[in-house]
Amino acid sequence: MKNRLEAALKGLGQRFGDSRLHVFDLSVSKIEQQTAFLCGRILEQKDLDRLCEQLAAQFPGLRLDTGNVHVLRRPDNPALAVGVNLTCVYAEKSFHSEQVNQAWYGERFEILEQDDRWVFARQEDGYLGYTYLPYLTGKVIPPPTHLVTAPAAALHEAPQPRSATLTRVLGGTAVRLEAVQGEWAKIAADRCGWLPLADLRALESLRKEEAELRAQMAQDALRLIGVPYQWGGVTPNGIDCSGFARLVHRWAGISIPRDADLQYHAGHPVEPPFRPGDLVFFGEAGGKKIAHVAVSLGGWEIIHASLARNGVYSDNIQTVERLRENLAGGCSFL
């Protein structure tokens, strides 16, 4: 019975989604007197309820004891914000583990578990991973008014280019405008300071007609030419293919999923000829699994964070064999 139940748990776990967005780490500790004792952890109470319903249907008469199952999302979970200019999200609780994502200043995490100075946390888009607790803050951060659109902007002590640099604010960071003096803006981020007003885009100005938005996205993408490739990166400090697509959409006021395959399934399908701002996807060699994403510049021209070229560059799909042969389709969030 225990082996059958474990096999059923494994099968059901595969239906509960992938580990980037879900937690399903359950096992059977013992079975006594027609009662199966489950242990482990699961993300949502509704997932546990659904699991119990499905197991009850497969094993009539078997009672389930879930007292040792830890449900991670609870109403009293603390919510913390990134208190530094950038923090990273890892697959494990170590700076040496795989970096799977990054978060800008002010982005919020729901804390699911804590182990000393590391937390297992959920970002606002549902993405899961480990991040370093000292880089988070419980302080109330005022609502942002602008996005930083410069790849990386030096934040100065005074509205003068030769004044001391306090920090650097990365492209995509949401900040609050405090004051304007000539061509300079005082902003509140992880530090308060001054940067050129031209490096900011007001959140209230993001709503535009589709044609204008597509043109803006193409221009924004081209400003990132030469940014180096970094797995799990989402900023002009270093960026991967899906992080690049996400940043270009963020500058347009559009939230999209973190990874290429999630983006592929979330957008509405489009066919060639692609238009500027569309996303173009590529599969693995010899397979259909989505492995890469680019931003269309129109027609067959794309711009992408390419591992093969170690950075953000433009290409023509028809003239690059690996792109032409592995084209999987396109989608749009416009």
Tell me, yes or no, if 241 is annotated catalytic.
yes
Residue 257 and residue 123 in contact, taking contact as beta carbons nearer than 8 Å: no
Q: For tokens 């799977």, name the residue.
A: 100
Residue 216 vs residues 205, 258, 298: alpha-carbon distances, Å? 12, 21, 13
Angle at 87 between CA 84 and CA 92, to 5 degrees: 145
Q: Which of 88, 249, 292, 331 is catalytic?
A: 292
Measured in Å, how far apart are the chain's first and last C-alpha atoms?
A: 51
228/236 Cα distance (integer angstroms): 8
Tell me, yes or no, if 304 is annotated catalytic.
yes
Q: Which of 88, 146, 156, 241 is catalytic?
A: 241
Cis bond upstream, residue 273 (ω within 30) = yes
Q: Which of 146, 156, 249, 304 is catalytic?
A: 304
Residue 146 and residue 204 in contact, taking contact as beta carbons nearer than 8 Å: no
275/298 Cα distance (integer angstroms): 4
Return the closest-CA partner of residue 105 out of 193, 199, 171, 200: 171
Tell me, yes or no, if 70 is annotated catalytic.
no
What is the set of active-site residues? 241, 292, 304
